[in-house]
Structures are given as structure tokens and as C-alpha cells.
Amino acid sequence: MAQAAESARTVILTVDDDPGVSRAVARDLRRRYGESYRIVRAESGESALEALRELKLRGDLVAVILADYRMPQMNGIEFLEQALDVYPGARRVLLTAYADTNAAIDAINVVDLDHYLLKPWDPPEEKLYPVLDDLLEAWRCSEYRPVPATKVVGHRWSARSSDVREFLARNQVPYRWYSTEEPEGQRLLAAAGQDGQRLPVVITPDGTPLVEPEAPDLATHVGLATTPTADFYDLVVIGGGPAGLGAAVYGASEGLRTVLVERSATGGQAGQSSRIENYLGFPDGVSGAQLTERARRQAAKFGAEILTAREVAGLEVNGAARTVRFSDGSAVAAHSVILATGVSYRQL
């Protein structure tokens, strides 16, 4: 029931200034996805943005946005750039004519485009639906999947509250913050049976209150993997910064059974950067959060496991195997281990 209600509110939005094309796209989308998704169509960037803002206010979800490139006033790339601010998790597709493929390729970096489709795409069974099926699947698996938000109740000057918020943000877990000074914060504390002496209190999407949670406990409750599914791997990568994520992608893509272990949040130092200009393949720059999200998705696509909030405390050689020991004493073994632990700065 819950799932049916959820998808009934999930939207695929299409915008094209040519009314005929716009209707044709919407018709093709409805034919295949109409039962599970609401298809919303607009005929200009402005009206599509207005529609997105209305959907946001109503709390609706947007899974995929398809935008025509050549539109007067606001072209498809400009529109998608603004649409990103409203629905950062929606997958983005640009509809282009053959002559505009260079613009589409540029857009891959500017708006983190997921795909561009050449018009016309007949038959849709071959050229449109397989692309959309993949994007909808990726959207469903992404960090932006529709979860009721985690709530954090704390004091704004409390270091523990700040740590929890940073952990959730860096792991791209959506949460809502309530100060103990506001009535809703007080109401939530009362509902959780707390008097505010021990903060923060995190209320998970399924309504479980966690009082002063440690990172591993928090990670498990918000849906991040913390436990390896096997005892033995081909490759264990320690550290989830760009180097570790890169190693996990290449290991897993070569068919190695790979697990990446990160003690805090994937992205490492780079995850905290607002714009990285010198990363290969991103001539227009990319934010650390975007780079991390894409790298995580890429690693997961090839089957790498990613464990968060697990600290490695020891490495032993046992014959041909290497044993990686976690700080809680548990262990995992592998043929090979890559240390990608970056740097940590000594603090005053």
C-alpha cells in the first residue's frame, strides 16, 4: 500500500517548447510509466520550474527530468541547472537534435547530466525506455530515494549535536534539525521519553529514537552498510576518499570481490570541497559531494560493498591472506589490501 501511494506521487517531468513534441514525449512516457508515475509536461523552462516548485511544496518526489535543449529564453541546460536546486536527486536527461550533440556533451559537466537523447527516438522501446528504465532504477537506489526524513533534536552549541549533523550531511543522509529551544524539538523529545539532558536525540525514519548515538549505530539505522556480507574478499580497500573510491571502482570492475571500509564518510577530504576544478574529466569543476555520490554509485554498480563508520585498527599477514581488523575486534580477510587512508592533521 505504502509503496503504491509513494509511486503515485512520484513524477517524471518533461519540458519542450514545441507543443507537438511535448505531447509526443508525454504520450510515450505515459504509455510505459503512466501507471506508476505521474507524467507532468511543460512548454517552457519557466513553467517547468514553476511546476517543480509547486511539486516541492506539496512534498512530491521527482525521479527524472527530460528537457529539450533548444528552447527560447531559457535553454535546456540553463533549465536543468536551476531544476537541480529544487530537486538535486532527480535524474537529468537532455533532448537534442544531432547538430547539438556538442552542447549536450558540455552539459554532462555543467549540470551533471545523466544522459542525452537524440531526437527523434523512435522506436521508444529501443531508444527511450531502456534509458529511462536505468535512470529510474538508479534514482530508486540513490541516496535521494524517498525516505521520510531522519530528525535530529539537539542544542545548537553542542559539539555532539554538531558531529551527528556533520556525519549525516557528509554521508548525504537527508535529515531535519530541531533545536531544543523550539516547540517542535520539545515535542519530539517528550515523544521520545527524553528530558533533554542527553543530546542529541536522533529519530530514525521508522520512528526509533537514538540517544547520543555513536557513528556505527547511527549509520546502521539510517540505512548505511556497516557489516561486510562475507568473511573473505579478493580486495579490501581501507579509506573512502577519492583514492579509495577509485580503487574500489577499478577492483570491482575487474571482477574482484571488493569491499571498501571507511571510518567516517565516503569522499574523504575531497567530500568537503565545494568545487574541485582540477579533477580529471570535469573541466567545469564538480563539488566534492557530487563527485562522491557518483563514485559511490559507480563502485556499487560494479558490485563493490561500501562500509561506512567502520574504523580499521590493524592489519595482519596470515600466510597468503591479509586480515584487516576493525576497532571493535571483528575482522575480514582478503588476498590483497589497499591502504588509501589519506592524511589526518594533528589538531591543536
CB of residue 318 to ligand FAD, shortest distance in Å: 19
Q: In the numeric block, which cell numbers belong to residue 147?
A: 525516505
Q: In the numeric block, which cell numbers belong to residue 81?
A: 541547472
Q: Which residue type does 136 have? A: L
**Three-state secondary structure string covering 83-97:** HHHHCCCCEEEEEEC
Query: Does 269 sit near ligand FAD (CB under 6 A)?
Result: yes
CB of residue 292 to ligand FAD, shortest distance in Å: 10
CB-CB contact of 41 with 67 (8 Å): no
Query: Does 92 sit near ligand FAD (CB under 6 A)?
Result: no
CB of residue 216 to ligand FAD, shortest distance in Å: 12
CB of residue 243 to ligand FAD, shortest distance in Å: 3
The CA-atom distances, in angstroms, between 185 and each of 166, 180, 199 are 19, 5, 11
Q: Which residue number, 95 or 337, has a Cβ lying nearer to ligand FAD?
A: 337
Q: Which residue number, 185 or 241, has a Cβ lying nearer to ligand FAD?
A: 241
Query: Does 264 sit near ligand FAD (CB under 6 A)?
Result: yes
CB of residue 266 to ligand FAD, shortest distance in Å: 7
Query: Does 276 sit near ligand FAD (CB under 6 A)?
Result: yes
**x-or-dash pattern for ligand FAD, window 237-256, by CB under 6 A?**
-xxxxxxx------------
CB-CB contact of 284 with 272 (8 Å): no
DSSP per position, 165-176:
HHHHHHTT--EE
Q: Which residue number, 45 or 268, has a Cβ lying nearer to ligand FAD?
A: 268
Residue number of the CB closest to ligand FAD reads: 342
CB-CB contact of 15 with 48 (8 Å): yes
> Starting from the edge strand earliest in sequence, which strands make up the sheet with 10-15, in order?
38-42, 10-15, 61-68, 91-96, 115-118
Scanning residues 294 to 313, which ones bind ligand FAD (CB under 6 A)? 311-312
Query: Does 109 sit near ligand FAD (CB under 6 A)?
Result: no
d(CA 148, CA 86): 18
**Residues interacting with ligand FAD, by CB under 6 A?**
238-244, 261-264, 268-270, 272-273, 276-278, 311-312, 340-343
